[in-house]
Chains A and B, each alone.
Chain A
């Protein structure tokens, strides 16, 4: 018997996830068993996936053939470094989320837990298969399984009309995207009929057809990732889903789309054209700006995070664009820098965004409230969640010394080199794009302060919040796992980059490893220490030492006395919780400065109103400019087509007859 390869173990893991799901279906009533045995088991499988993926990094690609599917068309699977990076992400993040889910789904009554367990684990297994697929057929099957299982997860609570609508929108856009991906694969086979990825690699397409394939892939994968203008499902589906599912979708599923885009544009298509990079860069920038702008004005905590995910995906697309530009001009060292930033941001975002989504889950459980305007002061009742969320928030704001900062730092370093590009205007415009990236990062800080400040700080806006309870032990464990990931990614960049290097090397033929490892493990200097360096541990240590020393010296020299009194607030005594900023109030400056970017409906009461109310509703321009017109046209076409439906069998038989005649005429040998 031949010894098992890593890829075989990963397939076993996929099988194990499926098995766990089926077990859940077998005992649908036993919610105790499902939550305290099956979900932790799923988390364990996640850890295995992460471990084997780490092991596979930098090794020669392994292939396998699964004899399922159509006759003569088995699943081809392949494990290389690019896939391993994303498998690693899937494994470690899913482990944290599953552990959390073990606590989260314990108390949720009214959800068919057995079914949910099955869908959840099919979702995990299908993401694994997407990453392993090595032909278009296997890829599309896994991709569709992923879309369908996540659709059912989103509509878990399908009794609400809004959630059903969100699920429908998600399914629709997922399929529009899937068609584009399928067409892109079709273009890449260039009529050879060989749908395996190896066959596509061997094809050399003309620049025209290669561009078509790239644009289709950008659109198709962009629909899954949430790039403009196919982002609208994200802020609907993420709040609708249960929090662990939102975390999984935002943290991991969006990244499978990034994986697909990388796979197509760097691996399958061969050498890119420079303007592909410009397109990706522009789309990414617009997406990031749009996402962060809308994130700042949201009043629903999960919608806020969903828009923030759009922003982060935009930043990742910017990184991909930059990589494509450098790669097209054969500046592989710089391309490696930008691609490392892309990988880093994928993993960092998966960590902190899952963490934040899970925190909203705990808040939701404790308070039954998703609207920011009814929360507040939860740091007193939920200290665990609040302090762990603080790490996620700081990482989400792209602040040192946490994970989000490293990727932004690497990306900006990449931008700083773009004046070396041998193109007359590109070398001038690309650095200006860096300004937009910085604006996005700074506004993300605003959104994150709003998110944290309004949920966890201040006074409780509703009396019921006094009964809020902290997260249970399983939930804490899951949150702590993701927090640890965020911290480690923040302080050990060199160690992480050395692992990422295998994938960079695979796609570009060059990595950052030699130059990064020239310095010590503590110093990140991707080009040279003279050029730029960052030592997160020293950074952290200096702040920590001066902080502790400052506190100690002050207390030694003077005193540590402290008195508690009511808040002062300029002597104004009638300070109720309602005098605090609401979510809408907090973002008022943004709404005012960027007014044309939003579609706002405002209602102000007049003095005669017996029941005065203020309301501001913010909608996406894209709905009214793009989606509603398209929906209207689709509606009209379907009305036209219903004319065919007369309700008389004779007419239907005539249709069949005419079709048959037509087919005989057309398909004559």
Chain B
């Protein structure tokens, strides 16, 4: 473990914490433009966090300690996810702590905590949101894992950093397996981040919401942490997608200049990626909840197809 690596690690975490709400703000802004609305300020999510942190927590009478603990657990899980995903550099001292499979586990842990918290007060919307979240989760998780399996088979490793290094060093050819996996990953990340075809982050229409239904009872700093964690999750998924499918520009070991260069490259990628997210959200309609299995089933099949294509056509003999 080198000092540079340690610095890079700390920097990656701070960068994620600082930048994640900005990404959310950017996606919201793009969406507003695309929908012919006047856009909120880019820094709106920060104002929002500041406002929520200032407010008192209004806690329901029936809330148990689990309810108060869950936002912190969620936040901690997302911090870990952001710490091990190579956004700027693959030289992360924390990376061996969790490989790609454990990364999926982190997201699972966060999901279980927030779903349990949603059921804690005992309101009808809370449990409705909780069960829908778990539904989307168990449909999305296998697809996500098969995507990871595909890239892990290519890289012969499940360590995210190693996968990214291997993929970045391959010659630039469009591999069919990677293409399938990329589409599947995009679909999964829309579902996991409560984005439009599956859920709508802006909705408060009771019958359609998933994520919002779960956090209805939260307020004050708890809500702020949940919102921040949601931004971090979007950031983590974006960085993971960018690192897996567009791995160029990510710094490697002992390369300080590359680390400096990686910052504008990441920013540019996120700018484009955020715009694409807003575009996809705008041109799609939200699906009924029972269409979600079809959507995620398609993602799963694409991912399996990607893996089979890799085994059939691209096997390294």
Seen from chain A, the residues whose Cβ lies within 8 Å of a Cβ on chain B are 376-377, 379-380, 390, 394, 397-400, 405, 409, 412-413, 415-416, 419, 427-428, 431-432, 434-436, 438-439, 441-443, 445-446, 448-450, 452-454, 457-459, 523, 525, 529-535, 538-539, 542-548, 550-551, 554-555, 557-559, 561-570, 575, 577, 579-581, 585-590, 592-593
Contact = CB atoms under 8 A, between A and B. Distances in A.
Nearest to A562: B57
Contact of B75 (A458, A547, A564): A547
Contacts of A547: 72-73, 75-76
B308 A432 contact: yes
B52 to A, nearest CB: 9
B119 A432 contact: no
B137 A442 contact: yes
Nearest to A394: B112
Nearest to A400: B105
B262 interface: no
Contacts of A559: 54, 56
B59 interface: yes
B173 interface: no
Given A397-B112, A438-B146, A561 B225 contact: no
16 contacts: A428-B308, A432-B308, A445-B108, A445-B138, A450-B134, A453-B127, A454-B119, A457-B119, A531-B157, A531-B158, A532-B99, A532-B101, A569-B123, A581-B119, A588-B131, A593-B293
Interface of B: 53-54, 56-62, 64, 66, 72-73, 75-77, 79-80, 83, 94, 96-99, 101-102, 105-106, 108-109, 111-112, 115-116, 119-128, 130-132, 134-135, 137-139, 141-142, 145-146, 149, 152-153, 156-159, 162, 206, 216-217, 220-221, 224-225, 289-290, 293, 300, 303-304, 307-308, 311-312, 315
Contacts of B80: 539, 542-543, 546
A442 B138 CA distance: 5
A539 B131 contact: no
B298 to A, nearest CB: 14
A399 B290 CA distance: 26
Given A428-B311, A533-B99, A562-B57, A567 B121 contact: yes
A526 to B, nearest CB: 11
B158 A546 contact: no
Given A419-B315, A535-B96, A592-B290, A563 B59 contact: yes
B93 to A, nearest CB: 9
A531 B156 contact: yes
Most A CB within 10 A of own CB, among B112, B137, B157, B216: B112
A449 B94 contact: no
Nearest to B121: A567
Given A533-B159, A539-B97, A563-B56, A377 B122 contact: yes
B97 A542 contact: yes
A525 B157 CA distance: 11
Contacts of A397: 108, 112
B217 A445 contact: no
Contacts of B152: 416
B79 A453 contact: no
Contact of B158 (A428, A532, A538, A542): A532
B124 A435 contact: no
Most B CB within 10 A of own CB, among A450, A535, A543: A543
A565 B61 CA distance: 6
A593 B131 CA distance: 14
B141 A543 contact: no
Contacts of B121: 458-459, 567, 569
A592 to B, nearest CB: 6
Given A566-B61, A580-B124, A446 B76 contact: no
Contacts of B101: 409, 412-413, 532, 534
B284 to A, nearest CB: 22
**CB-based closest 9 A-B pairs:** A458-B122, A459-B122, A547-B76, A442-B138, A581-B127, A453-B119, A567-B60, A546-B79, A538-B97
Contacts of A561: 56-57, 220
Contact of A443 (B130, B131, B138): B138
B138 A567 contact: no
A568 B60 contact: yes
Contacts of B77: 543
A454 B122 CA distance: 9
A456 B39 CA distance: 44
Contacts of B293: 593
Given A446-B134, A533-B96, A570 B53 contact: no
A570 B156 contact: no
B18 to A, nearest CB: 14
B29 to A, nearest CB: 27
Given A539-B98, A568-B60, A376 B122 contact: yes
B59 A562 contact: yes
Nearest to B107: A399
Contact of A580 (B61, B105, B122): B122
Contacts of B66: 379, 390, 457
A626 to B, nearest CB: 28
A405 B101 CA distance: 10
Contacts of A569: 121, 123-126, 216-217
Contacts of A592: 290
Given A529-B96, A563-B56, 6 more contacts: A431-B307, A445-B137, A457-B120, A458-B120, A533-B97, A581-B131
A431 B108 contact: no
A434 to B, nearest CB: 6
B94 A538 contact: yes
B59 A565 contact: yes
Given A416-B158, A546-B79, A442 B108 contact: yes
Most A CB within 10 A of own CB, among B131, B156, B307: B131
A558 B134 contact: no
A432 B304 contact: yes
A277 B173 CA distance: 38
A420 to B, nearest CB: 10
Contacts of B109: 394, 399-400
Contacts of A539: 80, 97-98, 102, 106
A590 B73 CA distance: 27
Contact of A577 (B98, B122, B130, B146): B122
Most A CB within 10 A of own CB, among B97, B206, B312: B97
Contacts of B146: 434-435, 438
Contacts of B115: 449, 453
A556 B20 CA distance: 22
A434 B225 contact: no
A384 to B, nearest CB: 13
Contacts of B127: 453, 458, 580-581, 585-586
Nearest to B69: A547
A427 B311 contact: yes
A457 B64 contact: yes
Contact of B61 (A413, A442, A450, A567): A567
Contact of B162 (A436, A441, A530, A565): A530
Nearest to A551: B72
Contacts of B106: 400, 539
A568 B162 CA distance: 47
B311 A380 contact: no
Contacts of A452: 116
B54 A445 contact: no
A564 B59 contact: yes
Contacts of A398: 105, 108
A490 to B, nearest CB: 11
Most B CB within 10 A of own CB, among A409, A546, A566, A588: A546
A379 B64 contact: yes
Given A531-B156, A547-B72, A428 B312 contact: yes
Most B CB within 10 A of own CB, among A409, A416, A454: A416
A542 B79 CA distance: 8
A458 B158 CA distance: 39
Contact of B53 (A377, A448, A530, A554): A554
